[in-house]
Amino acid sequence: MSVWSMAARSLSRRRLRTGLTVSGIVVGISMMFILLSLVSGMESQARSMVRALGGADITVTNSTMFRDRMGVGGGGFFGALPRLSTLSESLVDVISSIPGVYVASPQFSFSGSIGGRRVTIYGVEPSSYETVTGGLNVIEGRFISSSGEIVLGKALMDLLDLTLGETITLSGDQESGGRVFKIVGVFESGIAFQEYAAYITLKDAQALTGEYGLVTQILVKCEDPSLASDVANLISSTVEGVRTTIPTATLQQATQMLNTLTLFFATIGLVALAAGSFGVVNTMIMSVTERTREIGILKAIGAKNSTIMKMFLAESLLIGLIGGCVGVLVGGILAYAFPLLTSGLFSFGVTPPGIGGSRLGGRTLTNVMLARPSIAPTNIAVCLSLGALVGVLAGLYPAWRASRMKPVEALRHV
């Protein structure tokens, strides 16, 4: 009979004790798996949000950021945002001539109104915008190419019950009557609240706001993305009164924070696993004590010390593996349930632009989850390995103790 079959038979004979011992490992593994899955989800969502903000290597804005503190719209998630400060459109040519800059694209962001609802509008130059950012993820129709065309986010299309090819009236700050635009495309970002926006040409945006010759951001694509930091410093030193932002740097800061959270959460999980390992040690010592006579008989018929040690190590390893597998399964289920049960901590409600709480009885339309879990194969492998490792380490001393027993003394045990 192999050591594995003997170990399995021994565990099955004491099912209640084995179950209680395994539960200690399950608690530690499931806790660690939940925390690691949440951190992986947060990191993935942070990357998605940075990518959704635009594929530009550098974003140039006015150093003062905002012109006033009053919002431009009535209610909603974006309706209370201050008005962005502007830059001269002529700076696009200046920045384009700076060494290391591949192309620069102007953008004008403002709060507009469609059907009485406030939405975020982006005015862009189609050709340069697509070169800098790689373009929007247009799932229906196409991107704008000329004046009078508009591309809306999927969430906004669904909210306003619009269809591709339909015409809408878009109003800005200066033109209360608004202008008519044709919907030529629908984009999707994967993040719901970012889809409550629309894209029109830069000239249309300037005409709607009366801000002729002005932009709110300049998106920059570098010849070598790895030198974005150097190019950003060169832009800041060349052009006065501007602020440069590097999305990748923001992502790096978020990643560092998440790495710290991972270390913190992993420590909590390891403490729980350490507590569970004491249960394994206790179970194995009891098993050795109860099977002293069995050990003596095995040694008397020729079993080596290494065989006895392998038998008990196999038993503790099985406990660790079972605990690891069950822990990953339980942790995977709880990882998705935990954010829902603690929605106040891990998500926030988003009211689409222009939809005040009073219009919907205080109800928000979109729930943005900040900690959507991600079940990564790496996390599964780590948790299973930790379960097995804890089982083996906890069984080392009991196995060594069993292997060192003398046959004569063991046979005397009753």
Highest mean pLDDT: which range of 74-88, 90-104, 159-173, 184-198: 90-104
Residue 155 has pLDDT above 60, yes or no: yes
Looking at residue 340, its pLDDT comes to: 66
- 204-208, 305-309, 395-399, 406-410: least confidently modelled range: 406-410
pLDDT single digits (tens) 218-263: 999 888 877 888 999 999 999 988 999 887 666 666 667 777 777 7
Looking at residue 249, its pLDDT comes to: 62
pLDDT over 70 percentage in the chain: 79
Arithmetic mean of pLDDT, 345-374: 45
Residue 400 has pLDDT above 80, yes or no: yes
- Helix (H/G/I), strand (E/B), else coil: 200: strand
Q: What is the mean pLDDT of the chain?
A: 79
Highest mean pLDDT: which range of 224-238, 260-274, 297-311, 336-350: 224-238
181 beta partners: 168
Looking at residue 150, its pLDDT comes to: 95
Residue 47 has pLDDT above 70, yes or no: no
180 beta partners: 169
Residue 216 has pLDDT above 80, yes or no: yes
Looking at residue 89, its pLDDT comes to: 93
Pick the residue with more confidence: 262 or 357? 262
Residue 213 has pLDDT above 90, yes or no: yes
Residue type, 110: F
pLDDT single digits (tens) 318-327: 888 998 899 9
- 24-38, 87-101, 321-335: least confidently modelled range: 24-38
pLDDT single digits (tens) 87-135: 999 999 999 999 999 999 999 999 888 877 888 899 999 999 988 888 8
Q: Which residues contact 105 (CB under 8 A, 6 or more apart)?
A: 56, 92, 124, 125, 128, 129, 131, 132, 133, 218, 219, 220, 221
Q: Which residues contact 158 (CB under 8 A, 6 or more apart)?
A: none
Looking at residue 57, its pLDDT comes to: 83
Arithmetic mean of pLDDT, 11-16: 81
Highest mean pLDDT: which range of 168-182, 205-219, 367-381: 205-219
CB 187 within 8 A of CB 151: yes
Strands (E) located in 30-132? 58-62, 66-71, 82-84, 87-88, 101-114, 117-124
Residue 357 has pLDDT above 50, yes or no: no
**C-alpha distance from residue 21 to each of 280, 326, 380, 394 (Å):** 6, 13, 21, 11
What's the helix, strand, coil split of the chain in %, to 5? 55, 20, 25
The distance between the two most distant Cα atoms of the chain, rounded to a whole number of Å, is 102
Pick the residue with more confidence: 154 or 246? 154
Residue 341 has pLDDT above 60, yes or no: yes
Pick the residue with more confidence: 28 or 47? 28
Residue 74 has pLDDT above 80, yes or no: no
Residue 364 has pLDDT above 50, yes or no: no
- The pLDDT confidence band at residue 70, using thresholds 50, 70 and 90, is very low
Which ranges of 103-181 would DSSP assign to H, the alpha helix?
126-133, 154-160
Prediction pTM value: 0.55
Rounded Cα gap, residues 31 and 25, in angstroms: 10
